[in-house]
Amino acid sequence: MPFSRTVSIEDLRRLARRRLPRVVFDYLDGGAGAELTLRANTAAFEQVTFRPRYAVPVRELDTHARVLDAELPFPALLAPVGYSRLMHPAGEVAAARAAGEAGTIYILSTISGHPLEAVKAASRGPVWYQLYLVGGRAAAEGAIQRARTAGYAALVVTIDTPVAGMRGPDSRNATGQLLGATPIRKP
């Protein structure tokens, strides 16, 4: 099925399964352990129903929101996704550029395939830096200073992953070897 004919997330998933190397698809599609949280999150989204209301008068529609110091035309932030470069060579750079063009915030993961300076330079909008506490205090302080120097507007600290989850397909596919041992890439 060509991309132009996809109509659902499941269509996109099937397309990704065919197009991506198995190691990349499994990394994106899977979760840790028995994938209980993954299934619970999927079930929660399946409970959301959008009910369009047509022919309803609306005096003024304004989706603008202020998030910290940023005025956004639409309050949807582009959340951090580690290893985006596995999915596309431009990865985080392209995502930051798209977020800036859409008028929203891009949040760069510590686990990035591009230097944080290049990602910030690609965006016309605000960019935040997500910090995983990996590599010790010195590594974290160095990453924070690099982000500050590059012009990141906020720091998003993630404390829920002190160690990587046990992801079966990733272990079988040797994803750790593919990703490398050093999560913080130097410029």
Instruction: Please state, in angstroms and as integers, the Cα–Cα distance from residue 1 to each residue in 17, 75, 94, 162, 167, following that order.
Output: 12, 32, 25, 40, 29
Outline where the chain has alpha helix (H): 9-19, 22-29, 36-46, 91-102, 116-122, 136-150, 168-172, 175-179
Least confident range from 22-26, 86-90, 165-169: namely: 165-169
- Give the pLDDT band of residue 75 (cuts 50, 70, 90): confident
pLDDT of residue 184: 43
CA distance 56 to 78: 30
pLDDT above 80 for 171: no
**Residue type present at position 154:** A
Do the beta carbons of residue 116 and residue 184 sit within 8 Å? no
Confidence of residue 165 (pLDDT cuts 50, 70, 90): low
This prediction has a pTM of 0.75
Confidence band for 185, pLDDT divided at 50, 70 and 90: very low
Kindly report, residue by residue over 8-37, the tens digit of the pLDDT: 989 999 999 998 888 888 888 888 888 999
Q: Output the average pLDDT for the chain.
A: 86
* CB neighbour class for 153 (10 Å; exposed up to 12, middle 13-18, buried from 19): middle
Over residues 132-164, the pLDDT tens digits come to: 887 888 999 999 999 999 999 999 998 766 666
